[in-house]
Structure 1
Amino acid sequence: MKSPHDTLMYQEAQSTADVIAHQLDANAGLLAELGERLRAHPPRCIVTCARGSSDHAAAYAKYVFETRLGVVTASASPAVSSIYDAPLQLEGALFLAISQSGRSPDLLLSAQAASKAGAQVVALVNDADSPLAHQADAVLPLHAGPERSVAATKSYLAALSAVLQLTACWSGDQALHAALDRLPDDLRASWNADWSALGEGLLGVRNLFVVGRGYGFGAALEAALKFKETCGLHAEAFSAAEVKHGPMALVGEGFPVLVFAQEDGSLESTLAVASEFRARGARVWVAAPGARGPDALPLPAGVPAITTPLLAVQSFYRAASALSLARGYDPDVPPHLRKVTETL
């Protein structure tokens, strides 16, 4: 039987700080040039295209691009091109395809269609020699290295850091550059945060909600997926702004809820939702900078709000790896799943 430290999921998540430090250095010149081109010829909109964990990175990218660049960002379903062969009108758009493998057939077809429709195609991909990389106008390598666990960890977090570096180089935002400069050290500092209360509390449950807002919503989506994938838990992700529009009716005595929060304008409303759940008798864990208490999942205080989700997800991966084993699963080999999902 594996120990929590023996899983590939644990080891690969633990390496994230080094991965991102290398990525930021390796891509600096490439992104400086791309950022200059985007400033000179700004796209009228950004369209993201991805599946699975990569689509959760796209959800994070939407908030980053719209808050830091002011460019409207929308998600395109790969099925629009791969199944429906619908004509697209993307002249002047930036089409951002995000993939770890760069080999999913539907994503390749979508990127081809976007290029024919007049978009500039940029690929965020871990395999820089993949088919997606070869057909893109520009490639942002994730530099995560081989990922042997089926559950993506370091490559997902590398996609988030690539989004941040692209945004910083495009906008010239020095505060964002500073947040990136400290990110590897922030990740190292947060890795040993004690999230054991989450694993202990979820050992015998079957269903839960994961809640986040703004920059943290993508983290909620990613955690919900990993709960299903590695722990056999039925988890659903909601925005803290949306969970009260119906899903709240399911929350009662003992219902488990994991909440991600960061220190920005969303903090007060997100914590208010957590408090309302507790008042209904729910078991609520809150991952927030400086969190304290028996069901608090600590994150370092004073970290930039925009990078807090990366720290939270890294700590979550460590907790999920241990929980998976405790529930009788192997997080590296989820049932019925493969590393590359070939969707048409």
Structure 2
Amino acid sequence: MAADIDEQPAGYERLLSTEHATAIARVAAAVAERRPRHVVFTARGTSDHAALYGAYLSEIRLGLPAGLASPSAITLFGARPDLSEALVVGVSQSGGSPDLTEVLRAARDSGALTLAVTNAPDSQLATTAELSVDIAAGHERAVAATKTYTAELLALLMLVEGIRAGDGGLPAEERRALADLPELAARTLTDPVAAQLAPRYRFAAQIVTTGRGYAYPTAREAALKLMETSYLPALAFSGADLLHGPLAMTDPDVPVLAVVGSGPGGRSMGEVLPRLGERRADVVVVGSAEIDGATRLAVPEVDERYAPLLDILPLQRLALALALTRGEDPDAPRGLKKVTATM
């Protein structure tokens, strides 16, 4: 897991290289030409959180309604929704889950434009879809996904911005900003604070993660990593949802990891953090925002769209360190396999 985490800056650089950027641009141009009316994502596990990020991008950057499909509606209940005007995107590291493939097959039969975003370009998911994007993350050693998650994020970002541009290419300003990501990721991974926090939570019984907008998928992925590797019950909430009741469970014995950036989503957390303070919750702030008196996992400030590619890195480090501190093996979580086949 440690090796996979450390490879992420190189993964960003590889995906931004001319070869892969050109391939993604071709797919983006094909999507733009079809002019879909809405976007439907289908995914499971970690990829579900990348898909949620893609949904935010689609609605905010493309102005298209977007959501996540319920595969069981098609695979178990036999539903055949009319997706003729949709772009249907299957996101999967392995491309090996039969239910996701079945969603793409049904969508394509109904006239949808289908796209697979996967680390396995020869997988069933990729061959079923009309279009495919290779996230080029390379072999992932650990069961708990890290570098494939961030590769999915970056591929979806490049895809959406290419669709927005119309011709699939990224504007020069966007290319320059993305070119800084590998170095910023490498710098983020050198911060020792995440590992130093692990003893603080060694005996925690539960933990809460929270964020808004682009940060919400990060909160959900962090919760999953903590559950997978440390078997620590972790609940993820958007900052808004946290205020609608779950706030009542927070107290000094319930740690809260709050993902807070510098954009609109981060600023909106200004309403959440004081309420957590009233509950005397043990809060750690993750991101570029500086909060007086709060423990912080610092991340370089970037456009809020890019922040998920950096914010998750110290949280992956925390999950790894906490698992080791609690005497667990993060490379082989009990009961998990690299490919989980569901229908």
Whether these two folds match at TM > 0.5 is: yes
> Residue 242 of structure 2 aligns to a residue in which SS?
coil
Comparing 289-298 with 97-106, greater Cα deviation is found at 289-298
Look up the match of 1:16: 8
Look up the match of 1:325: 324
Does 1:68 find its partner at 2:61? yes
The structural deviation recorded for 1:16 is 0.6
Q: Which TM-score applies when normalising by structure 2? A: 0.94
Does 1:81 find its partner at 2:80? no
Does 1:298 find its partner at 2:291? no
| Contact 1:165-1:180 within 8 A present in 2 as well | no
The structural deviation recorded for 1:111 is 1.1
Note the residue ranges of structure 2 that are not aligned, 5 or more in a row.
Answer: none
Does 1:170 find its partner at 2:169? no
| Contact 2:211-2:266 within 8 A present in 1 as well | no
CA distance in 1, matches of 2:114, 2:310: 29
The structural deviation recorded for 1:87 is 1.5
Deviations, residues 101-146 of structure 1 (Å, cap 9, x unaligned): 1111111111111111111110000011111111111110010111
The structural deviation recorded for 1:247 is 0.5
One-letter code aligned to 1:11: A
**1:70-149 equivalences in 2 (<5 Å):** 70-149=63-142
- What is the CA RMSD across the aligned residues, in angstroms? 1.5
* CA gap 1:197/1:291 in 2 versus in 1, 3 angstroms: farther
The structural deviation recorded for 1:206 is 1.1
Q: Which TM-score applies when normalising by structure 1? A: 0.94
The structural deviation recorded for 1:71 is 1.1
Look up the match of 1:55: 48
CA distance in 1, matches of 2:120, 2:321: 28
> Residue 240 of structure 2 aligns to a residue in which SS?
coil
CA distance in 2, matches of 1:73, 1:58: 10
CA distance in 1, matches of 2:271, 2:176: 30
CA distance in 1, matches of 2:269, 2:79: 39
One-letter code aligned to 2:305: I
One-letter code aligned to 2:119: N
* CA gap 1:198/1:291 in 2 versus in 1, 3 angstroms: farther
> Residue 269 of structure 2 aligns to a residue in which SS?
helix
CA distance in 1, matches of 2:185, 2:290: 17
Comparing 83-92 with 170-179, greater Cα deviation is found at 170-179
Identical positions, percent = 36
Comparing 133-142 with 32-41, greater Cα deviation is found at 32-41
The structural deviation recorded for 1:50 is 0.2
| Contact 1:207-1:256 within 8 A present in 2 as well | yes
CA distance in 2, matches of 1:339, 1:32: 29
CA distance in 1, matches of 2:94, 2:26: 25
* CA gap 1:180/1:154 in 2 versus in 1, 3 angstroms: same
One-letter code aligned to 1:295: T
CA distance in 1, matches of 2:72, 2:262: 36
> Residue 290 of structure 2 aligns to a residue in which SS?
coil
> Residue 27 of structure 1 aligns to a residue in which SS?
helix
| Contact 1:168-1:177 within 8 A present in 2 as well | no
One-letter code aligned to 1:299: V
